[in-house]
Amino acid sequence: MRQRSPAPRLARHAAGAFRGRSGRLAAGVLATLVLASGGCRDDTRITVSAGWESGRPIAELDVVALPFDPDSILDSLTAAAATPPPEFPELQQEMRTYLPPQEDPYEELNRPWLLLRDSVEALSDSLLAMDRAAPSYSAAYARFRTLYGRLSERAAERDRALRSVNGDRVALARRAAAAADSLRSWEYTAFAAYPELAGEAVVKSGREVVEGVTDEDGVAILELAPGRWWLIARAPDQENPFMEYYWNVPATVTRVLPIRVPLTPENGVRRWRH
């Protein structure tokens, strides 16, 4: 039997798959692309296996099979747009090369302060045990005052460094959000015809949109009618919160043999996640 999904659920998956090109338009159009035809057909089983370079499977990945190439339609609309899309080459380079901290910056920046604090506490304990009339007390107390003042300086240095680290990260996120808003505004006008064109492509194909979700092993099974298909998926980059992997993998389905389609970073596109 042909797989179907309720329109709202399909729209949710499709909106995620197309984010960054057709934005919210995809949610509306793909909610209408599930055809009403039914019945059993001699569909072919397609096994989609998704995994990272490390071999770790990509679980709960939404995969949408379309009987048309969405990028082809979007490329034609981009070429025909009254204005070119806004570009942010320097910002995108910053996002592509962004490296999150390998460890907690607070722990790293706080370490020198902690070491000095231990020395101050140890000296304070020794002063409490000393006789204030002893000749050595005055020198020890002077050293305590010096270390205590240095401890305050270290704390101030740590706080300034933390503000700098977090400030740079927040500033990049804010610039990325503003750029994304600008691009989505352009897409809203440039891709206004996408719902109609996508609907026409589905009707012309005589096939339905089919969707699936990978299991804990990174595997999703789709039942597809013979013909040309495009498998669409997207997943956040595990190393960079500003980037994602996008897949648009064509597959020709026949009734002869089952097909296995891998989705890996090698056959995906690493792009700005917006």
Residue 117 confidence (pLDDT): 76
Residue 210 confidence (pLDDT): 95
Residue 146 confidence (pLDDT): 83
Domain covering 7-87+184-272: architecture: Sandwich (2.60)
Burial (CB < 10 A; 0-12, 13-18, 19+), residue 87, is exposed
Rounded CA separation 245/135 (Å) = 70
- Which position has the higher pLDDT, 184 or 163? 184
Do the beta carbons of residue 24 and residue 63 sit within 8 Å?
no
Q: How many CB atoms lie within 10 A of CB 46?
A: 22
- Which position has the higher pLDDT, 172 or 122? 172
Residue 147 confidence (pLDDT): 78
Rounded CA separation 147/126 (Å) = 14
What are 237-274's pLDDT values in tens digits?
988 889 999 999 999 998 878 899 999 999 999 999 88
Categorize the per-residue pLDDT at 152 as very low, low, confident or very high, splitting at 50, 70 and 90: confident
Token duo for residue 156 = 């101030």
- Which position has the higher pLDDT, 96 or 123? 96
Nearest to 212 by CA among 64, 39, 22: 64
> SS3 for 1?
coil
Domain borders along the chain are: 7-87+184-272, 105-182
Categorize the per-residue pLDDT at 211 as very low, low, confident or very high, splitting at 50, 70 and 90: very high
Residue 56's contacts (CB-CB under 8 Å, 6 or more residues apart) are none
Scanning the structure block, which residue is given the tokens 């503003």? 178
User: How far are the Cα atoms of 153, 159, 240, 248 from residue 265, in angstroms, in the given order?
Assistant: 47, 39, 14, 12
Scanning the structure block, which residue is given the tokens 């197309």? 18
What are 218-239's pLDDT values in tens digits?
999 999 999 999 999 999 998 8
Enumerate the H helices of the chain as residue ranges: 7-18, 24-30, 70-80, 89-96, 105-129, 135-190, 194-205
pTM for the complete prediction? 0.69
% of the chain residues with pLDDT over 90: 49
